[in-house]
Amino acid sequence: MQEQQQPAQPAKKEKELTLEQRLLQNNPLHGLSLEKMLTELVDHYGWEILDTAMRFNCFNTKPSIASSVKYLKKTEWAREKLEAFYLSRFKRMPRATAAELEIPPRMRTFADGIVPKEPMELTVESILASQAKAASAYKERASRGRSNSRGGGRNRR
């Protein structure tokens, strides 16, 4: 009896990814759920540090993962702020360029070979000091801008 030979199955072709898709996969937020990200942050930093850093009421008044996720899903600016914190402080990825700041954190790309580092060690005091320094620098820039514009106006008669 002759065995019937089955035609060989063609090897499955792997889907080719574009360069942008490959670079997006290098983003630590790629495929990470909001709940998992928040759980990682709370486990490492705790609610008090997250509240001090971001000042979200859901991190201050009876904080829980479930209520915070619900708030963050509804509030795009808060979610983007948390994702930026995750990338910069927890994963210590390179700082976003001015052009990248216009793009939501989940859509930012990172070059091949850039890997996350150990989380930044933070305290409530270090966050408050950093916020005070940033506020002072902002006031300084704003006052320089006002003083430069005072003398450059139209001549009055």
Q: pLDDT above 90 covers what percent of the chain?
A: 61
Contact 4, 48 (CB under 8 A): no
Question: Any idea where the domains of the chain sit in the sequence?
Answer: 23-142
Contact 31, 106 (CB under 8 A): no
The pLDDT, as a whole number, for residue 43 is: 98
User: Does residue 66 sit in helix, strand or coil?
Assistant: helix
In this predicted structure, the answer to whether residue 146 has a pLDDT above a threshold of 60 is: yes
Mean pLDDT of the chain: 86
pTM, to two decimals:
0.76
For 23-142, give the CATH class. Answer: mainly alpha
CA 77/CA 61 separation, integer angstroms: 19
pLDDT digits (tens, 9 = 90+) for 83-107: 999 999 999 999 889 998 999 999 8
The pLDDT, as a whole number, for residue 7 is: 56
Band (pLDDT 50/70/90 cuts) for residue 156 is very low
Q: What is the DSSP code string of 81-122?
A: HHHHHIIIIIS-PPPPPTTGGGS-GGG----TT----PPPP-
| Among the listed residues 130, 135, 140, the one whose alpha carbon sits nearest the alpha carbon of residue 52 | 130
More confident residue, 35 or 19: 35
Tokens of 1: 């009896």
- The amino acid occupying position 126 is S
The pLDDT, as a whole number, for residue 112 is: 81
Tokens of 112: 């091949």
CA dist 77 to 45, 70, 80, 112, Å?
21, 14, 5, 28
pLDDT digits (tens, 9 = 90+) for 53-77: 999 999 999 999 999 999 999 999 9
More confident residue, 130 or 26: 130
In this predicted structure, the answer to whether residue 13 has a pLDDT above a threshold of 70 is: no
In this predicted structure, the answer to whether residue 20 has a pLDDT above a threshold of 80 is: no
In this predicted structure, the answer to whether residue 21 has a pLDDT above a threshold of 80 is: no
